[in-house]
Amino acid sequence: MDILVVGLNHRTSPIELREKLAFSQEETQQAYEKFLDHRLVREVMVLSTCNRVEVYSWANTGGEERILSTLQELKGVQKEELLPVTYVYHGREAVKHIFRVASSLDSMVLGEPQIVGQVKDAFEQAMASEATGVILNQLMKKALSVSKRIRTETGIGESAVSVSYAAVELAKKIFGELDRKKALLVGAGEMAELAAQHLVNQGVAQLVVVNRTFSRAQELAEKLHGEAAPMENLPQELVDADIVITSTGAQEYIITGDMVQRVMRERKMKPMFFIDIAVPRDVDPQVERVENVYAYDIDDLEQVVEENRKRREKEATKAERIVEEEVENFLHWLRSQEVVPVIVSLRNWCDEIRKRELEKTVSRMKLNGEEAKALEALTSAIVNKILHPPLSYMKEAASKGEGEKVARLVKGLFALEEKDEHKDRDQRQ
């Protein structure tokens, strides 16, 4: 039995194929029945997002082929189509892959947060469908906790990696809460609109759109739940605006240093933040000389994004170390699982014998409570002392990876019925 990953992602396969293989929620339900149909696959879970389709399982040797053939059958794809784009991981590599996926280390945009939710949903659905058992449950719980640990201990999700987000993040570092701030959108470029949209989402109190063609301003204002104003009002609008996004097609600066100097005096030096997305620029770089005025043009923002990306990559190496560590922990647990059922049944078996014999003696000899208690303690001590060396030997063997062999041996020696955690599932089937 081994943990197994069969899957494909944005790096190995084109979008067309990923679309074809994607699972809807209902399809997943049916797929689980198909996957678990044969005894090769004991536990299974499907993760289907726009960037990846992956099947996680706890399976016997040969599970890999069965999963691939089931995929072909379910999705009506040819083997020749599927094989070159799929990857298969076993054991340690599989665990590592799952941890990396859940921690967004395998994502197209490193550190993007959606994947955690997707993994969680997929896991919950699989659990509800009773497709997972002890092993995958523990694995996925661990994957989610590793992801959380990485998010809190590294800066992988910190700092924006798109221009419009970077602009909004900066605005927040300048103003703090945006709920009492006013934004002004000058011009109507696509990226400027996106940045304005982010500002609105972040709860900016008011948004005014100014454009050379007033109808376009109105149109955009309506879309962003703001107000429109004619271009002539720009100097007046600036006085009330805290955040100004510009993206006009003008050839020269439409916001000059003198203009901002005047505006700042009028607004009693309250800070202003200019986000100039236009090329050629709309905001004269001179405005930065004015106290409490901050101005970022598109190059500045792109540089910020680039640095953030690098920072995320640096954080990712920290994250990889955490993954390695947690994979080790999980494998340790997994190995111990090989002997845990045998340990439990051995202990139960001994205890049953002990209790049975004790019961006989106590009733035959008509012992009083205190004597019975003493005898109880005596027999327990004997059983525990005898069991101690074999149990520690088994645990030791498990951590060396010989658990399966030793478990079989002990089972044979004592003629134990395996109290397998999979018993529940086997009965169900």
Partner 1 sequence: MDIVIFRVAAVFYLASASLYVYYLFRTRERVSKRAYLLLMIAFMIHTLALVSRAFVARHLPATNLFESLSLFSWMVAGGYLLLEWRYKIPILGSFVAPLNFLGVLIATLNPQTVRPLPPALKSTWLYIHATTSFLGEVAFALAFVVSSVYLIQERYIRKKRLGGLFQKLPSLGQLDELNYRLLTLGFPFLTLGIITGAIWAQYAWGAYWSWDPKETWSLITWFIYAAILHGRMTVGWRGRRAAILSVVGFGAVLFTFLGVNLLLPGLHSYSSM
Q: Which residues are catalytic?
A: 50
Tokens describing residue 8: 């494909």
* Residue 417: DSSP 8-state: P
CA distance 427 to 58: 18
* 300 is an interface residue for partner 1 by CB under 8 A: yes
Q: Which of 215, 145, 227 is nearest to 182 (CA)?
A: 227
Stretch that binds partner 1, among 142-150, 195-203, 222-230, 295-303 (CB under 8 A): 295-303
Position among 71, 131, 170, 209 found at the interface with partner 1 (CB under 8 A): 170
CB distance 130 to 332 below 8 Å:
no
> By C-beta, is 32 or 296 nearer to partner 1?
296
Interface pick for partner 1 out of 50, 205, 269, 365 (rule CB under 8 A): 269
| Per-residue binding letters, 199-218, with partner 1 (x by CB under 8 A) | --------------------
Could you tell me the smallest distance in angstroms from the CB atom of residue 308 to partner 1?
8
270 binding partner 1? (CB under 8 A): yes
Q: Which stretch binds partner 1 (CB under 8 A): 152-160, 357-365, 391-399, 410-418?
A: 152-160
Residue among 180, 185, 182 nearest 196 (CA): 185
What tokens appear for 253 in the block?
């600066």
For residue 72, list its beta bridge partners.
Answer: none
361 binds partner 1 per the rule CB under 8 A: no
Contact of 314 with 306, CB cutoff 8 Å: no
List the one residue from 51, 107, 247, 308 that touches partner 1 (CB under 8 A).
308
Give, to the nearest 10 degrees, the angle between helix 403-414 and helix 369-399.
Answer: 140
Q: Helices (DSSP H) in 62-203: which residue ranges? A: 63-75, 79-82, 91-102, 114-128, 134-153, 163-175, 190-201
Q: Find the binder of partner 1 among 213, 303, 317, 361 (CB under 8 A).
A: 303
Query: Which residue type occupies 282?
Result: D
Q: In what order do the strands lie in the sheet with 243-246?
A: 227-230, 206-211, 182-186, 243-246, 272-276, 293-297
Q: Contacting partner 1 (CB under 8 A), which of 152, 215, 251, 429? A: 152
Q: Is 271 in the site for partner 1 (CB under 8 A)?
A: yes
Taking the complex as a whole, the smallest distance from the CB of residue 180 to partner 1 amounts, in Å, to 10
Which range of residues in 85-93, 204-212, 292-300, 380-388 is near partner 1 by CB under 8 A?
A: 292-300
**Contact criterion met (CB below 8 Å) for 9 and 54:** yes
Among 16, 26, 232, 291, binds partner 1 (CB under 8 A): 291
CA 292 remoteness from chain centre: 39
Q: Does 110 bind partner 1 (CB under 8 A)?
A: no
Q: Does 174 bind partner 1 (CB under 8 A)?
A: yes
Return the C-alpha torsion angle 3, 6, 9, 15, nearest 10: -150
Among 177, 328, 357, 426, binds partner 1 (CB under 8 A): 177
The reply to whether 294 sits near partner 1 by the rule CB under 8 A is yes
User: Total residues at the site for partner 1 (CB under 8 A)?
Assistant: 28
Residue 274 near partner 1 by CB under 8 A: no
Q: Are 167 and 296 in contact (CB under 8 A)?
A: yes
Residues 264/293, Cβ–Cβ less than 8 Å:
yes
Site for partner 1 in 228-267 (CB under 8 A): 267
Tokens 């995320």, residue located? 312
321: contact with partner 1 by CB under 8 A: no
What is the closest distance, in whole angstroms, from the C-beta atom of residue 269 to partner 1 in the complex? 4
Site residues (CB under 8 A) for partner 1? 152-153, 155, 158-159, 170, 172-177, 267-271, 288, 291-292, 294, 296, 300, 303-304, 307-308, 311
